[in-house]
Amino acid sequence: MATQTLINADVDLDLKRKRSETSSVSELDTSRTKGIEAEGTTKEKQKKKKSKKAEINEDSDMADIKEIMKQWKQINTKLERLESKIEKAVLKGDGTIRSSIKDLMTEMKEDLLKSVTNRIEILEGKLFEKEESSEKLAQKVTALEEQLEKNKEETFRVNNQLDFEREKHRKFENESEQYSRINNIIIRGLPDTNPRETAEETLTKVQQYLQDKDIIELKASDVDMAHRLPNKKSQNRDVIVKLASRFNKMCIMRNRRNLRGTGVFVNDDLTQLNLHVLMCVKKKMIDEVSEAWFSRGKIFYKNSNGQVHLVKYEDYDHWIDLPWPFHK
């Protein structure tokens, strides 16, 4: 009943406000009409027009008021019915309200469940799409990893092949260079008193010295060239001799033992690599290597037990990597 009283009070207040506005409009129109009549007959037409407009506005306002009243009556009727039902349900105490609330809650739960279910279905669909996309990406990653592993293996194989080819080429170059020096000998310790010694003078000294030591008698035609090798001090320079025949070199190398104790040495003309490895074999393992030499394009050494070993090209890096002995 309190609700009904409040609604009626609001309706009465709106009606009074509308009537007041209508009364004000009527008084304003009356005053305007009197003013127009005082102004004379020349403004009669304007008076009629304004009077008609006022009447139209008044009719429109009344129509609005009637529509509002109608709507309020409908709302009021519904509220009265609802209030009556609530009062009867409360008075009866038959659980109608509880049932209604329960039905309303059930309906709300169903609506909420439908909304949540729909949302879950949407999320599941998106999750399924993401899982499919993730699975595809995982497959691509796996394929790329497999390809990368294959590429690594291929790269490793190619690098090994390249290393093998480089080492093979290095060996070939070393052997080719050594072969080009097959008829050469290096004489160390031959007296060197003239810094401006000519090749002819050097050849004469070599011929005379080898003949004096009963090593070999060389003619000028037996030698392609002979000259001193420069060094930093230009003193005690070695002599390189290129012989015309390998037979003469073999004879010299076989008889060079006659030079023992003279301070003069005859050796093969070695490549830089072969000379370096020979020095490593001689100097780096003096406790195990008693002697090392170069013969027929190969390096040999004799160990402490008197056994002779060949230093293969594949062993060069091993000897090079060994540390040099420490000397105090």
Count of H helices and E strands in the chain?
7, 7
CA 11, CA 72: separation in Å to the nearest integer? 7
Q: What is the mean pLDDT of the chain?
A: 79
**Model pLDDT, residue 50:** 53
108: tokens are 């709300």
SS3 289: strand
Sheet holding 184-188, edge to edge: 223-228, 239-243, 184-188, 265-268
pLDDT band per the 50, 70, 90 thresholds, residue 13: very low
Could you report the per-residue pLDDT of 311-322, keeping only the tens digit for each? 999 999 999 999
Amino acid at 84: S
**pTM: predicted TM-score of the whole model, two decimal places:** 0.54
SS3 91: helix
Of 26-35, 61-70, 237-246, the one with minimum mean pLDDT is 26-35
CA 72, CA 14: separation in Å to the nearest integer? 11
Average pLDDT over every residue of 152-156:
92
**Model pLDDT, residue 36:** 46
SS3 93: coil
- In the predicted model, is pLDDT for residue 77 greater than 80? no
Q: What number of CA atoms fall less than 13 Å from residue 269's CA on the CB side?
A: 20
pLDDT band per the 50, 70, 90 thresholds, residue 24: very low
pLDDT band per the 50, 70, 90 thresholds, residue 122: confident
pLDDT band per the 50, 70, 90 thresholds, residue 67: low
pLDDT band per the 50, 70, 90 thresholds, residue 9: very low
- In the predicted model, is pLDDT for residue 33 greater than 60? no
Cα distances (Å, whole numbers) of residue 297 to 42, 82, 205, 225, 270: 144, 122, 27, 21, 9
